[in-house]
Amino acid sequence: MASVFTRIIDGELPGHFVWSDDVCVAILSINPVTDGHALVIPRVEIDQWIDLDESLAAHLMRVAHKIGVAIREAFSPNRVGQLIAGFEVPHTHVHVIAVNDMGDMDLANSSTPVDHDELARFAAQLREILGVDDGGQLPV
């Protein structure tokens, strides 16, 4: 059975995309810890990040870096953090989070319910900073 992330990538479930390329996507978390909390997800389903081949892992980190720079510009946090845990969904994903204190790195502090209009605004803001279109694609 496809993971929830694969279903979002395939368009079966909605997602707030901020990046999309042939290798990975970045979407906003529907349970964000802070504003702009994004997930960088490979298109291929691999449960644990340590099972990624090195080139895929490097690509995810390059994209996470771009997303992190955009989050810093958009939300002006003290730091931008990363977290890879994988307990929520068995499909590797890198959390990129605006961090103002260490509590912002605790996924137990995730918000529910979420305002999808607000997420759409945040996604549009990040896409504009990244210079990508509404689907998160880089312009050709």
Query: Total domain count for the chain?
Result: 1
In a domain, 102, yes or no: yes
Per-residue pLDDT at 138:
60
Name the band, by pLDDT with cuts 50, 70 and 90, for residue 111: confident
Per-residue pLDDT at 119:
95
Instruction: List, for residues 51-100, the tens digit of each pLDDT value.
Output: 999 999 999 999 999 999 999 999 999 999 999 998 889 999 999 999 99
pTM to 2 decimal places: 0.94
Residue pair 81/107 in contact by the 8 Å Cβ criterion: no
In a domain, 84, yes or no: yes
In a domain, 33, yes or no: yes
In a domain, 79, yes or no: yes
What's 102's domain CATH number? Answer: 3.30.428.10
Burial (CB count <10 Å: 0-12, 13-18, 19+), residue 22: exposed
What is the spatial distance between Cα 66 and Cα 64, in angstroms, rounded to a whole number?
5
Cα separation values, 42 from 78, 109, 119, 136, Å = 27, 25, 21, 14
In a domain, 134, yes or no: no
Residue 22 has pLDDT above 90, yes or no: yes
Residue 136 has pLDDT above 70, yes or no: no
Domain hosting residue 26, numbered range:
4-129
Per-residue pLDDT at 134:
77
Per-residue pLDDT at 86:
87
In a domain, 107, yes or no: yes
In a domain, 136, yes or no: no
In a domain, 116, yes or no: yes
Mean pLDDT of the chain: 94
Per-residue pLDDT at 112:
75
Instruction: List, for residues 115-131, the tens digit of each pLDDT value.
Output: 999 999 999 999 999 99
